Amino acid sequence: MHTKSAKLKHVCYDIRGPVIVEAARMEAAGEQILKLNIGNPAPFGFTAPKALLDAIGANLHSSQGYCDAKGLPPARELISNHYQAMGVNRTSIDHIFIGNGVSELIQMSLQALVDNGDEILLPAPDYPLWTACTVLAGGNAVHYRCDESNGWQPDLDDIRAKITPRTKGLVVINPNNPTGAVYSKEMLLALVDIAREHKLVLFADEIYDQILYDDAVHHPMAALSDDVLTLTFNGLSKAYLAAGFRQGWLMVSGDTSKARDYLEGLNMLANMRLCANVPSQHALLAALGDPASIKPLLLPTGRLCQQRDLAFDLLSQIEGVSCVKPKGGLYLFPRLDPKRFAINNDESLVLDLLRKERILLVQGTGFHYPSPDHVRIVFLPPPEVLSDAITRFGHYLDGLAES
């Protein structure tokens, strides 16, 4: 008998969890499913800037060998310059790691830090890969509350109350997936203070930093202190609409003199996976030279902004559904009023919705939200598809309330 390792026993990643298996079965049986479950822009008609594709094409021949385990030096230099221009003082190209997507770097950064029983503070709701990688590394994921009634801002008292001698890191996802919250400079400074006081590593997942709506401003966390060890994560998947290229970067900044051993661990893990995909690193070089590519989509007349507005308006019209309007990212995280919908198990709800309406969402508890009364909806599909899906979701919920 071949069984999976005990290490995987408590690891879960519901964005691609059991509901997906049922969706795949239905698709194989010829059913058409409206997929509002994954933040993958390409299937919805978004294309990466031409410069990225051209860069891969032009450099394909010279990309046949492995490169430096941390990534192509010119790409790392560009990343380092990019952050220095934003006020990050203490980083260098030696402290930049290019990976096969941010996902790989999240995994490496936690494997290199966490011992069995160490604790990592993560937001609830979270992007669940952070929890999965913490648990896989042997750590305990300790979730801090983000307050829906306060625009999903982190609850600083809850964070402080959950710090123990075993706490090693604090994860901040800004702009946030799944809530769409964007944090103020004051909030980020307060989080930096907590990390400083308790000697925590700050993990700043900023993959949506350029996907901002209305008057939202993003403040890179690494620029807010010179001393706190900060790991910043970003990449091509969202802002450059190129998730399939699997390109992400990790920048270590702050007082790295106190983190030599950790950096050595990161280096070792980078070496062990040899290097990131080389052709795509050329796309990264082109991307950082052209940061404005997604901007038109975010203007009030742009496709992403309009789809966010449409999805928000339609959801808000459903009786018993309320939602904080996202200021960033690609998702809505509406609340289904427990007084109207008696939901005991939100995974069953999502499964039932899939079977009855052929709409695929992700349940809120899949993001470690503690109560079964939220779902995440991706607003990448074009307006007519979004409108159809949310109208059908509303009919389904009306039926649920009456049953």
328 binds ligand PLP (CB under 6 A): no
Which of the ranges 96-104, 112-120, 340-348, 355-363 carries the binding residues for ligand PLP, by CB under 6 A? Answer: 96-104
Q: How many helices (H) and strands (E) does the chain have?
A: 13, 15
Select from 155, 151, 197 the least CA-distant residue to 172: 155
Binding test (CB under 6 A) with ligand PLP, winner from 41, 49, 71, 101 = 101
Q: How far is it, in rounded angstroms, from Cα 310 to Cα 390? A: 10
Nearer to ligand PLP, 93 or 129 (CB): 129
Q: Specify the DSSP class assigned to residue 236.
A: S
Spell out, one character per residue from 182 to 221, where the chain touches ligand PLP: x when CB under 6 A holds, - when not.
-----------------------x-x--------------
Which of the ranges 99-107, 155-163, 337-345, 394-402 carries the binding residues for ligand PLP, by CB under 6 A? Answer: 99-107
Q: Which of residues 238-277 bind ligand PLP (CB under 6 A)?
A: 243, 248
β-strand 375-378 against 331-332: which pairing, if any?
A: antiparallel
Spell out, one character per residue from 22 to 41, where the chain touches ligand PLP: x when CB under 6 A holds, - when not.
-----------------x--
304: region left, alpha or beta (phi > 0 left; psi from -120 to 50 alpha): alpha
173 binds ligand PLP (CB under 6 A): yes
Q: How far is it, in rounded angstroms, from Cα 348 to Cα 236? A: 34
179 binds ligand PLP (CB under 6 A): no
Q: What is the closest distance, in whole angstroms, from the C-beta atom of residue 366 to ligand PLP in the complex?
A: 13
Binding test (CB under 6 A) with ligand PLP, winner from 41, 49, 235, 334 = 235
Q: Name, in order, each residue with C-beta under 8 angstroms of 304's C-beta and a sequence gap of 6 or more.
A: 211, 213, 294, 297, 298, 330, 379, 380
Select from 319, 331, 303 the least CA-distant residue to 397: 319
Q: How far is CA 91 from the centre of its chain?
A: 23
Q: How far is it, in rounded angstroms, from Cα 209 to Cα 329? A: 8
177 binds ligand PLP (CB under 6 A): yes
237 binds ligand PLP (CB under 6 A): yes
Nearer to ligand PLP, 380 or 386 (CB): 380
| Contacts to ligand PLP by CB under 6 A | 39, 101-103, 127, 173, 177, 205, 207, 235, 237, 243, 248
